[in-house]
Amino acid sequence: MAWLILFISGAFEAVWAVALSKSEGFTRPIPIVVFLLAAVISMGGLGIALRDLPVGTGYAVWVGIGAVLTVFYSLASGEEAVSLIKVLLMLGIIGCVAGLQVIS
């Protein structure tokens, strides 16, 4: 169950990161609300997951999931150009996150 919570929390990390960029320096109210809610859910879930997972592994997986989903959003929305190297690097992060989960 801790892994599921961690994965969901990692997804909410991507949500708050995107909302933060959309808030335009905390000047747009809806993205600010989304940022705050997603940050609370993300951090809260991380805290719950870390009851059962080692902090190093849990934090690395949480950040990795958030980072990959944030980059994926940027690529899919056209905010960043897609390139082979970006895709390969994201696959590397996914491989490392999976590896940390397997060895835990």
What does 42-91 look like in DSSP terms, one character per residue?
Answer: HHHHHHHHTTTS-HHHHHHHHHHHHHHHHHHHHHHHTSS---HHHHHHHH
pTM of the complete model: 0.90
Q: What is the pLDDT of residue 102?
A: 87
Query: Which residues are CB-contacts of 3 (< 8 A; sequence separation ≥ 6)?
Result: 49, 53, 101
Mean pLDDT of 71-100: 94
Average pLDDT, the chain: 96
- Listed by start position, the domains of the chain span 2-103
Which band of pLDDT confidence, cut at 50, 70 and 90, is reported for residue 92? very high
